[in-house]
Amino acid sequence: MSTSTLNPSANVPAAAWQRLREVPLLPAVAAAVVLFFVLAALTPHLLTSRDPFAIDLPNALQAPSLAHPFGTDQSGRDLYTRVVYGTRESLLIGLGATGLSMAIAVVLGVVSGLGGKIFDGLINRSLEVLFAFPVLLLAMLFVTVYGPSVTTQIVAVGLGTAPGYARMIRGQVLAVKNSGYVEAAHALGHSRWTVLRQHVFPNAMRPLVAVVTLGIGQSIVWASGLAFLGLGVAPPSPEWGALLDAGRMFITRAWWLEVMPGLAIVAIALAATVLGHHLQKKLEGARS
Amino acid sequence: MTNRQPAYQPSTTDPSRSRLRNGLSVIGRSDLRTNGGKGAGRRAASAAALLGVLALTACGSGSGGSAGAAAGEKVDGGTIRYAHLQEPPCIYGGWVQQAYLSRQVLDSLVSQTEDGSIVPWLAEEWSVSEDQLTWTFKLKEGVKFTDGTPVDAQAVSDNFEYWTGGGNGTVQAYIQEYYESSKAVDASTLEVKLSAPYSPLLSALSQGYFGIQSAAALKERTEQQNCEAPIGSGPFTVGDWKRGESVTFQQNPDYNSAPQNAKHQGPAYVDSVVWSFVQDNTSRFGSLASGESDAIGEVPTVDFETAKPQFQVQQYITPGRPVTLSLNTVEGPFTDTKVRQAFAYSADRKAVVDSAFLGVVPFEPNGTVSQSTPGYNAEIAGEYPFDQAKANALLDEAGWTERNADGIRTKDGQELAIDIVFGLNSIVTTEGATALQNLQEQVKPVGFKVNLLPVTQADLFGGAYSTPDSYDAQLGYWTSPTAGILYINFRQNTAKNPNYANTAFYNNAEIEDLILKANSAPSTEEANTFYAQAQQRLSDEAVAVGLYTQTSTVATSQNLQDVWLEASQGEPVFHDAYFTE
């Protein structure tokens, strides 16, 4: 590894490097954490040489050591390997659920914001009904009816979190709709569709970039919560919530079974949140 | 009065095995007795052993020496707060979890002791005719149900009619095809007529399912009322049941019909038992550790070592069918005997179980009868050791010769995939689920792909997994004080076909014949010879692969004495329990 090839100033224009150096430490660390987990999700075998399912009964419940940095579980499986391999499912659920809830929210929010009194009233009342149920309860109901799997978890968490986003988008759409530049665009004779596409939609969506980033971390926590309650993917899957659930019984004897997957969840949720806040600040700064 | 626990029975075989055969093992005492057993010296010296002895001396057995002062002064009254794993839908019924509850309220005709002998309970004495078809029971006099009606021969006869008329499916599974009629000869003499000799009858009668209820209550109250709050002549009555939380048992102040193997006659020492349902293992054990509970059932295996020095821990290895994988013999890959045998050879089942249960629950190699059952065939326990070479050879012979990219064997393009269904948290504990995960990994190199399908109690009991197309193997147990459990699990025909208890769907006329011969044998010894032969045949056919024994455990705080586990299926008994100061 030679520093000269890695030195960005050699390849990237100086201005860009200057910008990069202005990134504060915290978001940089967060980005590194996210990068690590993305790597774990895409190419887990690069981060560990072990099989996440391989049992080793004589070495069950070993405390963290050099050979097993996160310790081993009740069947002697290497916990670090399981956390790494569990990343894909956990991230998939986080991204999938956020994507789904955003898709639902955009449709509902935009229709509600632009669709006139009847649509707005109808959608708003339904959202209020959904709001009456806590997210976790809605998600649990859904999983109970359709059975636990990655797909149902995505749909459950996605549906559960959609009403919140829909509200937010509706508010944005309403604010943008009544703004001066939209009025100006109308006055200039642009068609409704053009105004919607070029002015309302992009301006209403921009603040959501940050919200989405925050939402991914939150969705991973929801999904892990479901798995912890036994409503997630079934063991021996290394999904993080399932790891927490399986290790719960051993908490007095093998703390690492709870602490290590817990730290992974905390790390990704924190990292996503920090990045989200950073983006939010940037965007707000850009607008003002 | 026989307060004494039957002494440990010396045996020439492995001492730890003997302890298990003995059924009830009070931790500590048995370690002292099985001098020379593995680790006995170390454990005998531990506080756990001493406390185990204390618990026993307190009940007057005199088996453990002089210590006893530490137990403190006995106090009358008080409320036992007991935390249990499972909450069944009803108190009276055909599931062992219901027998645990109904035992507190109902008396049975007889009781079984740890050595398998039968002692009087509501029946003072009994006899059977020369042809073994007519049983005469002489009932204790002056016993009343808690609704005031007498426990007389007519009432007991009404109970027989109620059970066999559909009142209890488990009772039906035992006696339906043998029971013919019953009648009250006089107020205290009951005559039961059978259609054929049935040697397990008395053993069967000792279980909680056969608890005698008030005939008036059965007649006048709804099914629901009798099931939720059965009225019997037992040491407690059913009080308030807060669903999802607890059920309270109130002391029956007039109780005068304890079984002969109880530690005292007369009413319970305590005023009430609050029996709460705490499914979460950590919380349940935590409630005992924090003093919120005085006793807990199903001590989590991970907490066993922690519990032993601090509490009085008792473990009962239940007789009957162990926790076993019944292999579907009529549909899927297990229709081929060779594939079933290969499956049995392909996992180190002992390692799988020992690891998952941290050595607390014994491995049971026999797939049909557990080691604490009278009539257990110990010889077949050595069959199907861990031998993957043999498993591979058998699968090759059976035509599963190809392997796909994942190393799974295939035949005609079909994967050798096995769906294992199990009722998680209802039938199988989390430790059991871990054992299955271990097994799943272990059979992989041989080329089996195991899919684990945990199912809910509602689905399982609702019959969603009762047909041959719904699984390749099912993990389950059936507690029973007799090897006659084979009759329930492997007979071909029941009044209502198919036999839902035959989870392997295995029908073999010759084996059934052996079981029927055993049922009708004139003595228990002869019966057990036939039962042993049937176990051998079933093992040869590999219709069920044994994993571990079902156990019943209880841990009690140091100031609560004489809680015990009865010997028919490990029902906890609180009638003799008292607090000390």
Reading phi first (left if > 0) and then psi (alpha if -120 to 50, else beta), residue B72 is in left
CA neighbours within 13 Å on the CB side: how many for A146? 16
**Residues on chain A touching B306 (C-beta within 8 angstroms):** 252
**Residues on chain B touching A57 (C-beta within 8 angstroms):** 348, 351-352, 354-355, 438
Cβ of A74 and B356 within 8 Å? yes
Q: How far apart are CA A10 and CA B150, in angstroms?
A: 101
B282 closest CB neighbour out of A54, A74, A249: A249
- The encoded tokens of residue B425 equal 């948290």
- How far away is chain A from the Cα of B81, in angstroms, using its nearest Cα? 22
Q: Which pLDDT band holds residue A135 (cuts at 50, 70, 90)? A: confident
**Residues on chain B touching A60 (C-beta within 8 angstroms):** 355
**Residues on chain B touching A250 (C-beta within 8 angstroms):** 302
A250 closest CB neighbour out of B302, B351, B354: B302
Q: Give the list of residues 6+ apart from residue B362 with CB closer than 8 angstroms, or none.
A: B20, B317, B353, B371, B548, B549
* Inter-residue contact B301 to B360 (CB < 8 Å): yes
**Residues on chain A touching B350 (C-beta within 8 angstroms):** none
Q: Give the list of residues 6+ apart from residue A153 with CB closer than 8 angstroms, or none.
A: A93, A97, A139, A143, A223, A226, A227, A231, A232, A233
User: Beta partners for B551?
Assistant: B317
Give SS3 for B174. Answer: helix
A59 → chain B, closest CA residue: B355
Cα distances from B227 to residues B98, B159, B244, B499, in angstroms, run: 10, 14, 17, 24
**pLDDT for res B68:** 37
Q: How far apart are CA A160 and CA B538, in angstroms?
A: 52
Q: How far apart are CA A210 and CA A214, in angstroms?
A: 6
CA B135, B141, B143, B145 torsion-angle sign = positive
A253 CB within 8 Å of a chain B CB: yes
Average pLDDT, chain A: 86
- The string of DSSP letters for B191-225 reads EEEESS--TTHHHHHTSGGGPBPPHHHHHHS-HHH
Cβ of A249 and B351 within 8 Å? no
Q: Which pLDDT band holds residue A278 (cuts at 50, 70, 90)? A: confident
**pLDDT for res A3:** 45
A144 CB within 8 Å of a chain B CB: no
Cβ of B282 and A76 within 8 Å? no
**pLDDT for res A90:** 87
Cα distances from B400 to residues A288, B77, B225, B473, B562, in angstroms, run: 71, 66, 55, 19, 56
**pLDDT for res A7:** 53
Q: How far apart are CA B255 and CA A118, in angstroms?
A: 72
Cβ contacts below 8 Å, chain A against chain B, sum to: 46
B379 CB within 8 Å of a chain A CB: no
User: Beta partners for B511?
Assistant: none
Cα distances from B297 to residues B93, B112, B555, in angstroms, run: 19, 21, 7
- How far away is chain A from the Cα of B298, in angstroms, using its nearest Cα? 13
A234 CB within 8 Å of a chain B CB: yes
A236 closest CB neighbour out of B282, B300, B437: B437
Task: Report pLDDT digits (tens) over A226-271.
Answer: 888 878 777 788 989 889 988 888 888 899 999 999 999 999 989 9
**pLDDT for res B366:** 96
Q: How far apart are CA B304 and CA A234, in angstroms?
A: 26
B281 CB within 8 Å of a chain A CB: yes
* Inter-residue contact B299 to B555 (CB < 8 Å): yes
Cα distances from B389 to residues A21, A109, B12, B339, B445, in angstroms, run: 62, 64, 33, 13, 10
Q: How far apart are CA B136 and CA B543, in angstroms?
A: 39
Q: Mean pLDDT of residues grouped by 10 in chain B (581 residues)?
A: 35 36 38 33 35 34 35 89 94 95 97 92 96 97 96 97 94 94 96 96 96 97 94 97 95 97 96 95 93 96 92 95 96 97 97 94 96 93 95 97 95 96 90 94 96 88 90 96 94 73 92 95 93 97 97 96 95 97 87
A248 CB within 8 Å of a chain B CB: yes
- The string of DSSP letters for B498-511 reads S-TT-TT----HHH
ipTM of the complex: 0.74
Interface test with B, best of A51, A149, A233, A252 (most B CBs within 10 A): A252
User: Beta partners for B552?
Assistant: B316
**Residues on chain B touching A76 (C-beta within 8 angstroms):** 355
- How far away is chain A from the Cα of B447, in angstroms, using its nearest Cα? 15
**Residues on chain B touching A55 (C-beta within 8 angstroms):** 437-438, 441-442
Cβ of A75 and B437 within 8 Å? yes
Q: How far apart are CA A142 and CA A149, in angstroms?
A: 11
CA neighbours within 13 Å on the CB side: how many for B461? 13
**Residues on chain A touching B442 (C-beta within 8 angstroms):** 55
- How far away is chain B from the Cα of A74, in angstroms, using its nearest Cα? 7
Cβ of A53 and B441 within 8 Å? yes
- The encoded tokens of residue A43 equal 């190419």
B300 closest CB neighbour out of A55, A76, A249: A249
Cβ of A60 and B441 within 8 Å? no
Q: How far apart are CA B369 and CA B360, in angstroms?
A: 19
* Inter-residue contact B231 to B213 (CB < 8 Å): yes
B381 CB within 8 Å of a chain A CB: no
**pLDDT for res A11:** 58
B279 CB within 8 Å of a chain A CB: no
Cα distances from B571 to residues A95, B208, B486, in angstroms, run: 50, 8, 21
Strands B110-112 and B118-120, sheet pairing:
antiparallel
B357 → chain A, closest CA residue: A74
**pLDDT for res B497:** 63
**pLDDT for res B71:** 60
* Inter-residue contact B478 to B320 (CB < 8 Å): yes
**Residues on chain B touching A54 (C-beta within 8 angstroms):** 441
Give SS3 for B420. Answer: strand
B408 CB within 8 Å of a chain A CB: no
A49 CB within 8 Å of a chain B CB: no
If we measure between CA atoms, which residue out of B440, B465, B455, B450 comes closest to residue B419?
Answer: B450
- The string of DSSP letters for B224-269 reads HHHHHS---SSSEEEEEEETTTEEEEEE-TT-----TTSS--SS-S
User: Beta partners for B579?
Assistant: B75, B560
**pLDDT for res B38:** 35
**Residues on chain A touching B386 (C-beta within 8 angstroms):** none
Give SS3 for A98. Answer: helix
- B543, amino acid identity: V
Task: Report pLDDT digits (tens) over A155-192.
Answer: 988 988 898 899 889 988 888 888 888 888 888 888 88
What is the b/e burial string over A79-110, where b = at least 16 CB atoms within 10 angstroms of the residue's CB? bbbbbbbbbbbbbbbbbbbbbbbbebbbebbb
Q: How far apart are CA B526 and CA B379, in angstroms?
A: 17
Task: Report pLDDT digits (tens) over A83-121.
Answer: 999 999 888 888 999 999 999 999 998 888 888 888 889
**Intra-chain end-to-end CA distance of chain B, in Å:** 26
**pLDDT for res B496:** 63
B310 CB within 8 Å of a chain A CB: no
- The encoded tokens of residue B541 equal 């056919």
**pLDDT for res A287:** 53
Query: How many residues are given for chain B?
Result: 581
CA B157, B159, B161, B164 torsion-angle sign = negative
B282 closest CB neighbour out of A54, A236, A251: A251
Interface test with B, best of A145, A231, A245, A249 (most B CBs within 10 A): A249
Interface test with A, best of B355, B426, B443 (most A CBs within 10 A): B355
Cβ of A249 and B430 within 8 Å? yes
Q: How far apart are CA B323 and CA B327, in angstroms?
A: 13
The distance of Cα B482 from the centroid of its chain, to the nearest Å, equals 10
Q: How far apart are CA B342 and CA B331, in angstroms?
A: 17
Interface test with A, best of B349, B350, B430 (most A CBs within 10 A): B430
**Residues on chain B touching A236 (C-beta within 8 angstroms):** 437, 440, 452
**pLDDT for res B265:** 96
Cα distances from B549 to residues B279, B498, B536, in angstroms, run: 20, 27, 19
- How far away is chain B from the Cα of A82, in angstroms, using its nearest Cα? 15
Q: How many CB atoms lie within 10 A of CB B577?
A: 23
